[in-house]
Chain A
Amino acid sequence: MSEILRVDGLVKRYKELIALDNVSLKVKEGEIFGLLGPNGSGKSTTINCILSLLDFDKGKITVFGKEMTPKSYDLKKDIGVVPQEVAVYDTLTVYENIDFFCGLYIKDKAKRKQYVQEAIDFVALNDFTKFRPKKLSGGLKRRLNIACGIAHKPKLIFFDEPTVAVDPQSRNKILEGIEQLRKNGATIVYTSHYMEEVEQLCDRLSIIDKGHVIAEGTIDELKGMIKKSEIITIETAGLEDKILDKIGELPHVFNAEYKDNVLKVEAGSGKHNVIDIVNILQDNGYSMKKIFSEQPTLNDVFLELTGKELRDE
């Protein structure tokens, strides 16, 4: 796969504050690339710099193999943006909004009409084309916002936290739509502070914190960076301290806690972690109600890399 977007050593300063510190990214054609980080970490600033909306102090940005500048109109034709806030005109109807923003890219009226209709079909707003945005629910507005950004069929699409303040049903529809866009051939750059979304959607991602890229790779590669690979939870009553110590001494276990009749064990990569723990409990006559084994999440990755949770801020 060829490289669609490349960011090298991007630095952006706001007076004393360094918003982006040597950020580098590579996005390949046809992938969904995630930018994950807490609020204020620099995700939107990175996108704004890539889109030449924001002046930056240092670095180089290449899109479709050419350097991106504010006057790169030929490159901008193939880029779509879905901003974080709903960016539509309240005085225009749903159809008119999509047609207006599509018109910035597509001058041929017949072609534009077709594209607008396809965008309406894509976000399933067919029943609302004559509605003004004020009459739409939050989820429908978000879908309109997406339609305005993708109607011109861009090759590279930036989604800046498109699911903020959206109900679960609409969120799923949005995520399905993004997946569909990728299937249709678009390359997606997706920013979010919702790790579940990024895990579900993205092929590769960068984790950003305080303007630094602290990790980059596929989901599995990122999870492989941390020593914790399994979290085992077992409900059992009256566990004695000596048994807890015994579990804690198992080869791959590096943390074991018991509280409110729940045993929680964090283990590294090992093939029989659950069996080893269950055997100890059975050998000592403990009955078990529920047993769970979970893989670490991106939040665990973030926690281990930064010492804080993704949603702390």
Chain B
Amino acid sequence: MFLFWSLVFPLALMTAMYVTFGSVYDMINSIDPHKTVIIAEDDSEFTAGFEEVIRSMADESSEEHYFDLQEGLTREEAEEKIKANDIETMFVVSDDSIEVFLSNDHSATAAVVAQSVANTYRNKFEVIMDAMEKDPQAAMRILEDSGEMKEYTKSREDAFSGDPNVYSWYFYSSFVMGIFFNATGGAAIVSDLKADVSCEAMRFSASPEKKSKMLVCSFLARLIPALVICGIHLAVMSTVFNVDLGSDPLKLILFTVAANIFSISFGIICGLIFKGTLENRANKTTAVLMLSVFLSGEMINTLPGTIEKVCPIINDINPATVMNLAFYRMALFDQPLDFYTNMAKIVGASIVFIIIGTIILRREKYASL
């Protein structure tokens, strides 16, 4: 059961996601450069700046190589080529306006890219010009930082209400779900050590082994296989599904270890709170996990955003959401503060759970056996 929920089930979900949407995602993320022409109607700063932007995106060495720029064409020649579908996009730039013309058989991607680039440039230019009038030094700083601005995003907006990367989110939440299911292992630790829950624990309690030692051994016996399973998940996500896992392996390791420790310690608390046999405790723990994972957006990726608007505290205390966000922020955004804030929550909760669990398990005086 443990291997199914922790290893097989998340991989099955990831595979289903990859088979269903992987090709679409790859297509969106591998845009072929479109044949493009710029018709500059004047020599304004606005026009020159836009030409510069498009040229940078036509550079073959650039990561954002979206355009195949056709030089030396007049507007009439360009229009002829558009009509003949020889060129896909034509920008006509004058003063502070950009007109976008598309060929009849243009692709949806070409239209989205052309419109997005034009709109983004317009907006940024307005901001810069406005700043120039009010504070030229600030405007220069904006210009200097403009290259980096596209790398940074406000965490709350992008994680919840903005435009989350659905594809990545699904893989991340499946990975986190696999980790979180280790909580059932935490419930099993309770069964291993509480003599009123299992006969095996009765044998342990009657043996000369110290309970604290058995607790550590039992914990490690769950943690080590869980980490191995995570390694398999990450390897498959990275190599088979081409999922972006971020650029910092240390943070990835830190997250994986902390999240697994948290999940197991969370399971210990669940195992202590719930009553009955190991099976009863594990089933009730699984029910809690399911609810937590559902609220974190495993099934409906916009759910955390909705919850954030209505009752944000649920996101703040929902373990699966906290872990999802930590992973999402680590992998997709360069936001150390947000990442470490979530990690602090995970580690803090783990410490509290482990302390409570240890005290109760070591000092247990059974009312009945």
A interface, CB within 8 angstroms of B = 14, 44-45, 48, 51-55, 73-74, 76-77, 79, 81, 83-89, 101, 104-105, 148-149
Contacts and interface: CB of A to CB of B under 8 A. Distances in A.
Interface stretch (B94-102, B173-181, B202-210): B202-210
A230 B223 CA distance: 66
A76 B198 CA distance: 19
Contacts of A148: 203
B210 A87 contact: no
B150 interface: no
A95 B196 CA distance: 26
Given A83-B199, A83-B202, A76 B369 contact: no
Contacts of B200: 87-89
5 contacts: A53-B205, A55-B365, A73-B209, A81-B203, A88-B200
Contact of A83 (B203, B207, B367): B203
Contacts of A85: 199
B208 A81 contact: no
Given A73-B210, A76-B206, A104-B208, A87 B199 contact: yes
Contacts of A101: 203, 207
Contact of B202 (A53, A79, A89, A104): A53
Contacts of A81: 202-203, 206
Contacts of B195: 53
A53 B203 contact: no
A76 B368 CA distance: 21
B152 interface: no
Interface in B307-353: none
Interface in B175-225: 195, 198-200, 202-210
A78 to B, nearest CB: 9
B365 to A, nearest CB: 4
Q: What secondary structure prevails in chain B residues at the interface with A? A: loop
Contact of B208 (A55, A76, A88): A76
Given A54-B369, A101-B203, 14 more contacts: A14-B367, A45-B369, A48-B366, A51-B205, A53-B202, A54-B366, A73-B210, A74-B208, A81-B203, A81-B206, A83-B199, A85-B199, A101-B207, A104-B208
A148 B369 CA distance: 20
Given A44-B369, A54-B369, A87 B198 contact: yes
A51 B210 CA distance: 14
Among A79, A87, A89, A105, max chain B CB count under 10 A is at A87
Contacts, number: 57
Contacts of B199: 83-87
Contacts of B366: 48, 53-55
A104 B214 CA distance: 10
B202 A77 contact: no
A287 to B, nearest CB: 58
Given A48-B369, A53-B195, A53-B366, A76 B202 contact: no
Q: Which 3 A-B pairs have the closest CB atoms?
A: A87-B199, A104-B207, A55-B365
A81 B195 CA distance: 13
B260 to A, nearest CB: 21
Nearest to B365: A55
A88 B209 CA distance: 17
Contacts of B207: 76, 101, 104-105
Contacts of B205: 51-53
B369 A105 contact: no
Among B195, B198, B200, B366, max chain A CB count under 10 A is at B200
A154 to B, nearest CB: 10
Contacts of A52: 205-206
A51 B35 CA distance: 84
A311 to B, nearest CB: 23
B358 to A, nearest CB: 16
A52 B208 CA distance: 12
A88 B368 CA distance: 21
B368 A79 contact: no
A45 B202 CA distance: 13
Contacts of A48: 366, 369
Nearest to B367: A14
Contacts of A84: 199
A78 B206 CA distance: 11
A193 B369 CA distance: 19
Contacts of B208: 73-74, 76-77, 104-105
A45 B368 CA distance: 8
Contact of A14 (B203, B204, B210, B368): B368
Nearest to B362: A70
Contacts of B210: 73
Given A53-B195, A76-B208, A87 B203 contact: yes
Contacts of A14: 367-368
Contacts of B204: 104
Nearest to B368: A14
